Structure 1
Amino acid sequence: MIMLVVVTSISTLVHLYSSQYMAHDPHLSRFMSYLSLFTFFMIILVTGDNFMQMFVGWEGVGFCSYLLINFWFTRLQANKAAIKAMLVNRISDLILLLGVLTIFYNIRTIEYFSTFAAISIVKDFKFIFFNYILSIIDVACILIFIGAMGKSAQIFLHLWLPDAMEGPTPVSALIHAATMVTAGVYLTARCSPMFEYSMFSLKVITVIGASTAFFASTVGLVQNDFKKIVAYSTCSQLGYMFFACGLSNYPLAIFHLSNHAYFKALLFLCSVQ
């Protein structure tokens, strides 16, 4: 419910802002269609009660981000930025899909409630991979988290986010505030009952979150472009959210996500050049 309120409220404000910001653009109708489709898929993602609906929304958000970043398709930099975002997200999406398939293969369900109820039964399941004994829960959680890393631009998979500034300003506000980059944090918090059975994955999330928070804030200090400074600020704040998830403090992560969504949208909408 919290995510639904955040997504719809900020999306409404961005739509209103865009109607004036893009008023003189001959492709206004196409732009508004992309924004609406973007919001539609994000709503599908946050309202789903199973991994299948979540993944449909997840892929839809990624596809719409490509269309929006590449809205001014005559610009070479916009083309490169959109392709980079698409490639990074496709890699992480494939890994996320492997995580979902791992859950389905071992639990035989993709519904959240049924999956979380069955976790206690399969928590001790192991398998051998190249002479290493691995836990099914650890593997599934790590795969899901890597998928979340790509969408939320965590360290090593953050390269696409600063270049996403090539799209119109309202696109940056929507991607960085309430939709795409917050999807990874939402997914991690949504799957918290499963992550609580995997101490290894929680440790990985904590380290990645802390590393991203430090790295992105440091890189942001040496940027000259205002939008890129705010972009690295987004990476850093998402790192704090994942750090909170790694410490099993999911309410704090969602609280910070909500606060960050509103003030970051405002920052981007104020950065019009």
Structure 2
Amino acid sequence: VHIYSTYYMKKDSGYNRFFSYISFFTFSMLLLVMSNNLFQLFLGWEIVGMASYLLIGFWYDKPLAITANLKAFLINRIGDIGLILGICLLFNYIGSMNYIKIFSCSINIAHLNLPNTNCMLITIICICLFIGAMAKSAQFPLHTWLPDSMEGPTPASALIHAATMVTAGIFMITRMSPLFELSNTALSIILFIGAITAFFMGLLGIIQNDIKRIIAY
């Protein structure tokens, strides 16, 4: 994508600015992927959101681009609320954000309920984490920002839609899979939301005329 961008953005007046944004985006994804604890993952997660905001609104003189990047920013903040709650619950009950510590102690909280409720603690934690992934990976009903994000340059769209950002949610769930394996309810919810998203986004893609929006759906 970086190599392709050198040709695609060659005549754009914001050439240098674009490469500062896209390099910032790449750095944030590497930070997220290489993390060994939830704090570092969350830091990379938030920087990815900031970088995507800058890339989607790269052509800031276009009203549609400004609307699209604001929409992406706000919807991803909804997901961040769930992610923060999940991380806080894990830290409160396990006392660490390190992956190894969390996975080794997760079996000890698998049988616990939330205080004064009949809800399994591990299920609530997994659902909170999944809400974060829903927004980042554009799962129904937090998917509406993704087609609009096509207002950014094509190389930015390639990063956001295919290579990195929408797979960040999948990566996080895969990374935390030892937790999700302890909750059949959470796994069923993930299956249900994923199936709905795949089906309805496929239908929406069929009726689109813009090739970039078809790819987005």
Name the TM-score class by shorter chain: over 0.9
Letter in 1 for 2:99: Y
| Paired residues for 1:1-273 under 5 Å | 14-128=1-115, 132-232=117-217
Cα shift at 1:181: 0.4
Q: Secondary structure at the match of 1:158?
A: coil
Letter in 2 for 1:181: V
Q: Secondary structure at the match of 1:161?
A: helix
Q: Secondary structure at the match of 2:64?
A: helix
Cα shift at 1:111: 0.6
Cα shift at 1:127: 2.1
Cα distance in 2, alignment partners of residues 27 and 69 from structure 1? 14
Identity of aligned pairs, percent? 50
Cα distance in 1, alignment partners of residues 100 and 162 from structure 2? 28
Cα shift at 1:178: 1.6
Contact 2:32 2:42 in 1 (8 A): yes
Q: TM-score, normalization: structure 1?
A: 0.78
Letter in 2 for 1:195: F
The one-character-per-residue Cα deviations of 1:175-230 (angstroms, maximum 9, x if unpaired) are 11121100000001110000000110000001011111101001100011110000
Q: Secondary structure at the match of 2:119?
A: strand
Q: Structure 1 runs of 4+ off > 4 angstroms?
A: none
Q: Which consecutive residues of structure 1, in runs of 5 or more, have no partner in the other structure? A: 1-13, 233-273
Cα shift at 1:25: 1.1
Letter in 1 for 2:4: Y
Cα distance in 1, alignment partners of residues 119 and 215 from structure 2? 40
Cα shift at 1:73: 0.2
Q: Secondary structure at the match of 1:23?
A: coil
Q: Secondary structure at the match of 1:127?
A: coil
Cα distance in 2, alignment partners of residues 29 and 54 from structure 1? 28
Cα distance in 1, alignment partners of residues 193 and 171 from structure 2? 16
Cα distance in 2, alignment partners of residues 19 and 127 from structure 1? 53
RMSD: 0.8
Cα shift at 1:119: 0.7
Contact 2:53 2:70 in 1 (8 A): yes
